[in-house]
C-alpha cells in the first residue's frame, strides 16, 4: 500500500567482529512539520524486506511525551540487525497510510500476565518474572529444560556484604521489592525494571538516621533492569546499587560513606554441573570453578600497579594489569550459560565468577568505600547456549557479547536529515573548510589523549571514578603527580566534554563518540557523581552535584568545595536520546521532582526568593533548567507533565524579566535601565544553548528575538573590528554591561565588563565558540549578515592559537576544564560555516 518515508536509518559496526541478530536501538529526531503522532503503521524496511522492529515515542514537540496529540520529536527505533565486521547498513523507516495486519512472527516476544508476575516467551526460551520476587526471575527454561530456578538457599539475585562480613541477600530475607514494572513491551523487546532495597534494621551499616530527622531508613537501594529480546535466549541486565544515605542538603558530603565488601547479582544454574569456562584477554579455557577479577591493590589505600587475574579452582591461569574480554561460563546438562560485564578493566574492584554452582556479576568484588548518596552502576549479559558449545565457539559468542556491551549498535539519521528536523542548529554538510579540519583534529586529539593518556597518568580507575576528567592539565603531566586513584580529583564532567562528543556522533555517526568516553561518563555523572538517594524526596540535591569534586576512595565528587553548580549536564539529553534507558529516565524524574519542590515561589512574590530558588540566568540555575527540560521532555507520566508546566512557567518569567531587551540579563529581579550579562564563555557554553533548545522545542517570539539580538549586541558593542571585518586578535568582551531603552525593550549600548578573573577581554580559546553564536543567530535570521563576518573570521589562521594551546598543554592533556569549555557550541559554528552563503 501507499506509504511515506519517515527517515533513513544508518547502523554502523566499527568492530572487527560480525554482529548477528543484535538489537540496535537509539532515538532519532523527527521534524515537527512531519506531523507524525503515532507509530502503529510504521515499518523498518531493508530493500523491499520488512524487518521486525518496534518504536517507542520518547519525546514530543512542545509538550510532554504523554500528550499523544503532539508531533513526535524523538522516536526510539529498536531493530535486530545482522551487521558484518566494519560494515554499515542502511534501512528505511516507512509510515503506511492504511492499516495492515503484520505477518505472524514465531520469534516475537510475548507477555502473559499472571497472578504473581509475567511469563515472557520468544520462541526459543521462557522466562518467569515475579512482581514481588526478590531475584526478579523465578525460572528460565529452554526447550522444556530448566536452566535456572530460584533457590533462596544460594542467595539468587541481589546480594551485598557489609564490612564485617554480614551478607544481605534473599537467603536471609534481606531483599525487599518496592516495585516491579514492564517499562517497555513490543514484539522485539520486553524490558522489566525492579526497584528494591536491602533491609537489616539491626545493623548500623545497613540502617541509619540518614536524613537527620531521627527517622532511620534502609540505606542500600537497588534497581535491576532485565531485557528479553526476540528469538534470543540472552538476558540483558542493568544492575545498580545505591548508598541512599544522605541529608541531601549540604555539607559534609562524606560522613555517610560506608564500607562494603561485595555487591553483586547471582544466577544459580540447575542440574548437574560438569565444568566451567573463563577468559580474560586470551583464549577461552575450560575450568572448574572460575573467577575473573580486576582487583584493587590493597585495603590500606596503597596502590602500586593494576592487576587482574583469571583463576580456575583457585589457581591462577591468566594475569595482566587489565583484562579486556572478561567472561565466565558454566556447563550443565541442559546448556552452557555465560556471563560478561563491560569495562571491568577500568572499574576496579569488579569480577565475574562461576562459583558454588552460580554465575555472579560482582559490581563490587572487594572492600570498597561506598560514597554518600552514590550509586554504583553495572551492566551484564547472560547468554544461554547449547550444552555442546565448545570453548572456541564460546570465544565467538564472547567477542560478540563484548561488542554488544561496549559498542552496542546505534541507530542514526544521516546528517542532512538530522539538520532538516530542526531539533538542533545545523551541523553542516560534507563540505570542507579550514575550520572543519581544525575542529575535527582538535576533537579527535582531545578524545584520544583522554582515552589513551589521561586515564593512565591520572590513575582514573574505579567504579566511582572512571571515566571522569581532570580540572587542571598541570596536575597529571608526569606519572608521579597522581600516585594512585585516591589522589585523583575527578572534575564532574567540567564544562560538558561528554556533550561535545555526543553531538559529534550525530554529525558523523562514528560510534566512538558515544562508547569510548561520553556515554560511560554520562552514566557516572547521573548515577554516582550527582546526589543519588533514589526516589526519596528530602533535601534539595537529589539528581545534582554535591561539590566540585574531591579526593579519596568513595569520596570523589564528595570531598571538594562548591555546590550544585558543578552539575555539567548539558549533554544528558543527548545521552538519553542516543541510548534510551529507564534508569536515566528515573534520574531525570528524580531531579525534576527536586526542582518541583524548589521552584515554588511565583513571579508575583519573587522578592521573597533566596539563592536556591532564584529564577535567574546563572550557571547554577541554568544547569537546573537543563534538568527540568530533561524531565519535561523525556519523563513519562504525571511528573513529566508537571515538569513541562513548570518549565513553561520558568521560561515565561525569564522571557519577561531577563530576555525582553534582546540581551541576556543575569539577576532574578534585573534593573529596568541596565543589563549585566553573564560571562561570555558561559553564555557560549551553557546558557545560549539551553535557550536555543527551549526555543526550538517550544518557540516564543521573545526567546527567538533574544537568540538573534544577543549575538548581534556582542558583535556591535563588544568585538573589535579591523575595518568592517572582525579583528580575531582584538579584544572581545568577556562580559557586557548594557544600557537599555526607556521601556527596557532594547539595548542602546554596552561596555565590556570583567569576568571572574577580572579580565574585560575574553581568553583567545573562547573566540571560535563565540563565533558559533553568530552562526546560530544567522540561521534564525540570515538578513542580519552575521554569518559572512563570522565565516571570514573562521578563515583567519590567527583565530586558533588559544585552542592549540589548550590541546597541547601538559603534553596532550585530553579533556580538562579549558579544553571542554572551548569546544562547547563549536559544532554549530562548523554547521553554520557550511550553510553560510
> Are residues 165 and 53 part of one domain?
no
Asked whether residue 44 carries a pLDDT value surpassing 70, the answer given is yes
CA distance 825 to 688: 9
Q: How far apart are the first and last CA of the chain?
A: 41
Asked whether residue 300 carries a pLDDT value surpassing 60, the answer given is no
- Mean pLDDT (the chain, rounded): 97
Number of domains in the chain: 3
> Are residues 124 and 247 part of one domain?
yes
Tell me if residue 180 falls in helix, strand or coil.
Answer: strand
pLDDT band at 302 (very low <50, low <70, confident <90, very high): low
Asked if the structure places residue 549 within a domain, the reply is: no
Q: What is the mean pLDDT of residues 708-715?
A: 98
Tell me if residue 8 falls in helix, strand or coil.
Answer: strand
Which pLDDT score, from 0 to 100, does residue 478 have?
Answer: 86
CA distance 96 to 738: 55
Asked if the structure places residue 540 within a domain, the reply is: no
Asked if the structure places residue 551 within a domain, the reply is: no
Q: What is the mean pLDDT of residues 228-254?
A: 98
Which pLDDT score, from 0 to 100, does residue 154 have?
Answer: 81
> Are residues 309 and 219 part of one domain?
yes
Asked if the structure places residue 539 within a domain, the reply is: no
**Residue that finishes a domain, picked among 68, 96, 124:** 96
DSSP H/E element including 291: strand 290-295
> Are residues 166 and 86 part of one domain?
no
**Residue that finishes a domain, picked among 96, 127, 158:** 96
Asked whether residue 733 carries a pLDDT value surpassing 80, the answer given is yes
For residue 190, what is the domain's CATH number? 2.70.98.30
Asked whether residue 214 carries a pLDDT value surpassing 90, the answer given is no
Q: What percent of the chain has pLDDT over 70?
A: 99
Q: What is the mean pLDDT of residues 734-762?
A: 98
Q: What is the mean pLDDT of residues 276-287?
A: 96
Range of the structural domain that residue 629 is part of: 432-530+567-835
Please count the residues of the chain: 837
Asked if the structure places residue 35 within a domain, the reply is: yes
The DSSP secondary-structure symbol of 63 reads B
> Are residues 518 and 397 part of one domain?
no
For residue 76, what is the domain's CATH number? 2.60.40
> Are residues 123 and 15 part of one domain?
no
Beta-carbon contacts of residue 47 (< 8 Å; ≥ 6 apart):
none
Tell me if residue 264 falls in helix, strand or coil.
Answer: strand
Asked if the structure places residue 41 within a domain, the reply is: yes
> Are residues 748 and 619 part of one domain?
yes
14 and 86 Cβ atoms separated by less than 8 Å: yes
CA distance 25 to 732: 44
For residue 467, what is the domain's CATH number? 1.50.10
CA distance 386 to 404: 20
Which pLDDT score, from 0 to 100, does residue 74 have?
Answer: 99
Which pLDDT score, from 0 to 100, does residue 304 have?
Answer: 63
The DSSP secondary-structure symbol of 301 reads S
Which pLDDT score, from 0 to 100, does residue 303 have?
Answer: 58
Question: Per-residue DSSP letters for 547-611?
Answer: SS---STTTTTTSSS--GGG---TTHHHHHHHS--HHHHHHHHHHHHHHHHH--S-GGGGGG--T
Q: What is the mean pLDDT of residues 793-814?
A: 96
Q: What is the mean pLDDT of residues 662-666?
A: 98
> Are residues 812 and 684 part of one domain?
yes
Which pLDDT score, from 0 to 100, does residue 675 have?
Answer: 98
At 69-118, the pLDDT tens digits run: 999 999 999 999 999 999 999 999 999 999 999 899 999 999 999 999 99
Which pLDDT score, from 0 to 100, does residue 298 have?
Answer: 56
Asked if the structure places residue 336 within a domain, the reply is: yes
**Residue that finishes a domain, picked among 66, 96, 126:** 96
Q: What percent of the chain has pLDDT over 90?
A: 94
- Give the full edge-to-edge strand order of the sheet including 54-60: 19-29, 72-83, 54-60
Asked whether residue 192 carries a pLDDT value surpassing 80, the answer given is yes
Whether omega before 95 lies within 30 degrees of 0, making that bond cis, reads no
CA distance 571 to 518: 9
C-alpha neighbours within 13 Å on the C-beta side of residue 87: 11
> Are residues 347 and 475 part of one domain?
no
775 Cα distance to chain centroid: 28
Asked whether residue 524 carries a pLDDT value surpassing 90, the answer given is yes
> Are residues 130 and 80 part of one domain?
no
Asked if the structure places residue 420 within a domain, the reply is: no
Nearest 10 degrees: CA dihedral of 365, 370, 374, 375? Answer: 10
- The partner residues of 336 in beta bridges, in order of sequence, read 331, 385
At 341-399, the pLDDT tens digits run: 999 999 999 999 999 999 999 999 999 999 999 999 999 999 999 999 999 999 999 99
Provide long-range contacts, Cβ within 8 A and 24+ apart, for 57-63.
58/27, 58/576, 58/577, 58/580, 58/634, 59/27, 59/577, 59/633, 59/634, 61/32, 61/697, 62/32, 62/697, 62/698, 62/699, 63/644
356: left (phi over 0), alpha (psi -120 to 50) or beta: left
Which pLDDT score, from 0 to 100, does residue 805 have?
Answer: 95
CA distance 438 to 823: 11
> Are residues 477 and 363 part of one domain?
no
> Are residues 203 and 79 part of one domain?
no
Query: 0.95 exceeded by the pTM?
Result: yes
pLDDT band at 479 (very low <50, low <70, confident <90, very high): confident
Amino acid at each position: 500500500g501507499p506509504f511515506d518515508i519517515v527517515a533513513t536509518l544508518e547502523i554502523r559496526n566499527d568492530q572487527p567482529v560480525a554482529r548477528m541478530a543484535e538489537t540496535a536501538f537509539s532515538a532519532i529526531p523527527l521534524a515537527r512539520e512531519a506531523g507524525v503522532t503515532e507509530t502503529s503503521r510504521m515499518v523498518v524496511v531493508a530493500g523491499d524486506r520488512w524487518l521486525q522492529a518496534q518504536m517507542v515515542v520518547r519525546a514530543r514537540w512542545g509538550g510532554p511525551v504523554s500528550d499523544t496529540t503532539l508531533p513526535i520529536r524523538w522516536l526510539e527505533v529498536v531493530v535486530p540487525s545482522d551487521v558484518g565486521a566494519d560494515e554499515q547498513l542502511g534501512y528505511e523507516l516507512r509510515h503506511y497510510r492504511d492499516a495492515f495486519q503484520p505477518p505472524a512472527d514465531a520469534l516475537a516476544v510475548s507477555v502473559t500476565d499472571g497472578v504473581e508476575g509475567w511469563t515472557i516467551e520468544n520462541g526459543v526460551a521462557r522466562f518467569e518474572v515475579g512482581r514481588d520476587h526478590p531475584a526478579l526471575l523465578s525460572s528460565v527454561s529452554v526447550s522444556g529444560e530448566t536452566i535456572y530456578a530460584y533457590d533462596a538457599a544460594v542467595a539468587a539475585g541481589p546480594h551485598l556484604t557489609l564490612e564485617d562480613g554480614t551478607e544481605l541477600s534473599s537467603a536471609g530475607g534481606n531483599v525487599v521489592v518496592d516495585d516491579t514494572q514492564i517499562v517497555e513491551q513490543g514484539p522485539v523487546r520486553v524490558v522489566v525494571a525492579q526497584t528494591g532495597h536491602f533491609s537489616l534494621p539491626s545493623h548500623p551499616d545497613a540502617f541509619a538516621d540518614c536524613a537527620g530527622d531521627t527517622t532511620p531508613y534502609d540505606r542500600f537501594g537497588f534497581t535491576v533492569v532485565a531485557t528479553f529480546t526476540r528469538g534470543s535466549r540472552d538476558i540483558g541486565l542493568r544492575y545498580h546499587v545505591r548508598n541512599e544515605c544522605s541529608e541531601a542538603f549540604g555539607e559534609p558530603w562524606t560522613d555517610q560513606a560506608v564500607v562494603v565488601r561485595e555487591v553483586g547479582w547471582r544466577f544459580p544454574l540447575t542440574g548437574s554441573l560438569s565444568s566451567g569456562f573463563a577468559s580474560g584477554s586470551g583464549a577461552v579455557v575450560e575450568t572448574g570453578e572460575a573467577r575473573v577479577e580486576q582487583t584493587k591493590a590493597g585495603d590500606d589505600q596503597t596502590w602500586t600497579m593494576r592487576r587482574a587475574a583469571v583463576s580456575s579452582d583457585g589457581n591462577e591461569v591468566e594475569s595482566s594489569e587489565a583484562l579486556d574480554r572478561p567472561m565466565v561460563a558454566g556447563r550443565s546438562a541442559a546448556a552452557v550459560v555465560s556471563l560478561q560485564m563491560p569495562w571491568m578493566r577500568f572499574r576496579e574492584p569488579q569480577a565475574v565468577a562461576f562459583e558454588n554452582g552460580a554465575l555472579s556479576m560482582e559490581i563490587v568484588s572487594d572492600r570498597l568505600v561506598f560514597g554518600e548518596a552514590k550509586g554504583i552502576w553495572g551492566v551484564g549479559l547472560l547468554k544461554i547456549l547449547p550444552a555442546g558449545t565448545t570453548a572456541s565457539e564460546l570465544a565467538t559468542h564472547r567477542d560478540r557479547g563484548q561488542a554488544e556491551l561496549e559498542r552496542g549498535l546505534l541507530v542514526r539519521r544521516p546528517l542532512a536529515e538530522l539538520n532538516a528536523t530542526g531539533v538542533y542548529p545545523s551541523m553542516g554538510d560534507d563540505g570542507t573548510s579550514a575550520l572543519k579540519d581544525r575542529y575535527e583534529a582538535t576533537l579527535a586529539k582531545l578524545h584520544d589523549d583522554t582515552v589513551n593518556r589521561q586515564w593512565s597518568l591520572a590513575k582514573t580507575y574505579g567504579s566511582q571514578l572512571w571515566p571522569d576528567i581532570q580540572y587542571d592539565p598541570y596536575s597529571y603531566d608526569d606519572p608521579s603527580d597522581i600516585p594512585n586513584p585516591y589522589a585523583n580529583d575527578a572534575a564532574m564532567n567540567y564544562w560538558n566534554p561528554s556533550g561535545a562528543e555526543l553531538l559529534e556522533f550525530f554529525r558523523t555517526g562514528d560510534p566512538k563518540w558515544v562508547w569510548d568516553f561520553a556515554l560511560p561518563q554520562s552514566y557516572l555523572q547521573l548515577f554516582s557523581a550527582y546526589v543519588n538517594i533514589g526516589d526519596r524526596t528530602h533535601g534539595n540535591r537529589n539528581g545534582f552535584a554535591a561539590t566540585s569534586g574531591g579526593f579519596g576512595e568513595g569520596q570523589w565528587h564528595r570531598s571538594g568545595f562548591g555546590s550544585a553548580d558543578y552539575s555539567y549536564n548539558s549533554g544528558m539529553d543527548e545521552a538519553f536520546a542516543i541510548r534510551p534507558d529507564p534508569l536515566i529516565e528515573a534520574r531525570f524524574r528524580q531531579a525534576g521532582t527536586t526542582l518541583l519542590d524548589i521552584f515554588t515561589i511565583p513571579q508575583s512574590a519573587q522578592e521573597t526568593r533566596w539563592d536556591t530558588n532564584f529564577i535567574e540566568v546563572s550557571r547554577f540555575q541554568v544547569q537546573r533548567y537543563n534538568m527540568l527540560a530533561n524531565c519535561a521532555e523525556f519523563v513519562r507520566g504525571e511528573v513529566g507533565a508537571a515538569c513541562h508546566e513548570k518549565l513553561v512557567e520558568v521560561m515565561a518569567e525569564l522571557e519577561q524579566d531577563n530576555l525582553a531587551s534582546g540581551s541576556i540579563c543575569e539577576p532574578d529581579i534585573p534593573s529596568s535601565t541596565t543589563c549585566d550579562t553573564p560571562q561570555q564563555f558561559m553564555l557560549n557554553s551553557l546558557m545560549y544553548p539551553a535557550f536555543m533548545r527551549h526555543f526550538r522545542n517550544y518557540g516564543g517570539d521573545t526567546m527567538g528575538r533574544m537568540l538573534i539580538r544577543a549575538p548581534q549586541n556582542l558583535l556591535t558593542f563588544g568585538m573589535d573590528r579591523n575595518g568592517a571585518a572582525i579583528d580575531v586578535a582584538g579584544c572581545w568582551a568577556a562580559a557586557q554591561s548594557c544600557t537599555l531603552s526607556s521601556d527596557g525593550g532594547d539595548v542602546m549600548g554596552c561596555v565590556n565588563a570583567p569576568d571572574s578573573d577580572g579580565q574585560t577581554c575574553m581568553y583567545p580559546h573562547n573566540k571560535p565558540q563565540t563565533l558559533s553564536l553568530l552562526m546560530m543567530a544567522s540561521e534564525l535570521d540570515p538578513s542580519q549578515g552575521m554569518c559572512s563576518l563570522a565565516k571570514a573570521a573562521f578563515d583567519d589562521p590567527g583565530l586558533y592559537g588559544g585552542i592549540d594551546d589548550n590541546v597541547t598543554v601538559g603534553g596532550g592533556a585530553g579533556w580538562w576544564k579549558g579544553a571542554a569549555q572551548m569546544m562547547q557550541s563549536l559544532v554549530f559554528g562548523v554547521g553554520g560555516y557550511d550553510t553560510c552563503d
